[in-house]
Structure 1
C-alpha cells in the first residue's frame, strides 16, 4: 500500500465508528444473496442475533485504525485465524468476501466512495487477506503435523451421552475410523457440524472440549437452550433431542487461543458462570491429573444445584487433590448453598486475590467484564487475566 492509500483508509475511521454495523449488515445480506452456499459455512444464529455483524465491524475498524502497523493486531489475527480454521475457511473464501466487502463499501458510502478510496480499500483488503491466509496456512500445517491430526471435517461417533445436570449433557466423541484423536490444549474448542432440516442447511457450532487430553475421545458438554426457535440454539437442542449414542457427527480439529499455561506452577484461579465452566473443566482435569501440585481456586456460579453440571466430579477432585479450593454460588438456591446470589469475588477476596496467580474467566460478556474489572481494580496485572467469551468476540478488555 502507498502512504496516500493508508491515509485514505485512516480517513474512513470516523465513518466506521459510527456506521460500521450498518456496513457489515449490508455486506452479509449482499454476500448471502449472491453466494447462498456460504450459509452452510457461517453460523446463521450469529447473523440473526447481530453478533457477527458487530464483531466484523469491530475488526474492520481496528484494522483501519492500525493500517500503518497491522502487526499490533497479531493477537486478534491469531484468534480469528483459529476460528477460521475450525470452520474450514480457505483462501478462496477470502476472494468472495473481498468482492462483497468492497462492493458494500461503495454502495453504503455512495458518492463518497471515490475511485481513489476504493483503490485504497482494495489494497488494504489484499494486505489483510494475505496476512490472514498466511497465518491460517501455518495453523492448518500444525494441525496435520499432529499424530492423528487433520483439517476440514472428519466423522466422529457419539459413543456416550451423559446427563450432567437438568440443562447440560455431555457427548463423548470417538473417531469413526477407530483411530486415535489429535491432542489439544486444555481450553480449546472443536466445531461440530450437523444438518438442520428447519433451515435446510449444514450448520457449524463451536463447543469447548470439557475434558483433559486423553488420546481417545473428545467430550463436549452442551446446554439445552430453553425455548430456542432461532438458529442460535438449534444445534445444541438438536444434539439433546435427536442425536443418540451411535450417531455420527462431523468435527473440525481442535482450535482456540484461550488455553491453560501448563509451563508454570503459579496458582490458578478459575471463574465461571453457567456453561462457561466447560473449557475450565478441561484445564482443571489436566492440572489435577499432573504431577505438579498447583494451587487451584475454583469459583463457579449458576442458578441452583439442579443445573450445576460436574458438581459430583468437582467434589471428588476436591477430596483427592489437596490444593483445590472451591466456591459455588447459587443465585436461586432450592436448598442451603455454600454461597447465595451472583458470583461475588469481593466476598471471597482472600481466596481469589493471590500473588502471582493466573486467572481464567469464562461466561457471558457481562459476567467477564464484571469480574475482570474487580481483579484489575484490586491490583491484578491484566497480563495474568485470560478470558473467553462464547460466540463472536465483543469484549476488548485488555487492549
Structure 2
C-alpha cells in the first residue's frame, strides 16, 4: 500500500467522526432526564443530519469520486481542510446554532468544490445516477444557507420550512438514491460491481426524477402534505423496485447484503406508512432515517472499509457481531416508532431507542472502526 499522504482515503477519518456524532446526537436523549443537557428536540436532528450523515457522505464521496471519474484523489490540502472542518463541526456542538449551520455550509461548499474538480478532470464518466448526488448537495447547501439566514433575518415561514426539509431530509435521501442506484444493486448481486461496468453518462432520466423528488419537498413546505408524501412514495417505489430490484431476494449470501436489502425496504415502506398514517409522520420518519438510512449507511461503510483497507472480506458475509449490531440499529427505529404509538410511555421509549441505537453503533465500531484506521 502506498503510504504517501496523498493516497490516504478520506473515509478513514470521516467515518470515525460520523460514528462519534451518531452516538452523541442520540446520547442527548439519555442525558436530558438528568438535566445534563437542554431539551434536544431541535439539536438532535441537526446533529444527525449535519454531523453523522454528512461525515459519512463526505467520507464516501471523497473516496469514491476519484475512482468513478478516474481522476486524482484527495490532496494534502484536501486532507487538512477536511480535518479542520471536522474539528469545527465538533466545536459547533456547543456554540449558537448559526455557527453550526455555518460550518455545515462550509462542508457543503468544500465537498461540492472537491467533486467538481474531479468531474472536470475526469478520464471516465460517473454513473448516470450520480446526478442525484449533485442535486442532493445543492439541496443541502441551499437548506443550510436558508437556516443561516433564518438566524439573522425573518424569513418567510414557507422558505424556512423548505430549508429545514432540504437540510433534514432531502439532501441525504438524494445522495442515497444517487450512490445507491449504482452500488446497492451490485451489492445485492443484480448488477456488476462499479469497476466492472463501462461508464456512460446519459443522466436525463435521473435528472427528471431528482427534480420531481425535490419538488415534493417544495409541495410539503407550502402545505400540500398529502400530495407531497404520496408523490415521494411513488418515486421511492419506482427507484427501489424498478432500479434496485429489492422485490427479489439478494443473490449474494452475506450478513451485510441482507441487512442492506432490509434497510432499503424500510425506507420505502416507511414512506408508504406516512401516506397511510399521516398523524404518525414524525415517528415513521425515524423508521426511514434510522432503520432505513442509518442502517444502510453502516452496511455500505462496511464494504468501503473492508475493500479499500484490503481487509478480510469474509467479515461482511458471516460476522455475528455485524448481524447483532445491524439488528440493534434496525430495532432502534421501531422502538422510536413505539414512542408515538404509546404516548404515555413516550419519554421512556425515546430513551430505550437511544440505548438500542448506541449499543448497535458500539458493536459495529468495536469490529470495524479499527479497520477504518488501519489498512493493509
Q: TM-score range by the shorter chain?
A: under 0.3
Which structure has more strand as a fraction of its residues?
A: 1
Which structure has more helix as a fraction of its residues?
A: 2
Could you tell me the TM-score, scaled by structure 2's length? 0.27
Tell which structure's C-alpha radius of gyration is larger. Answer: 1
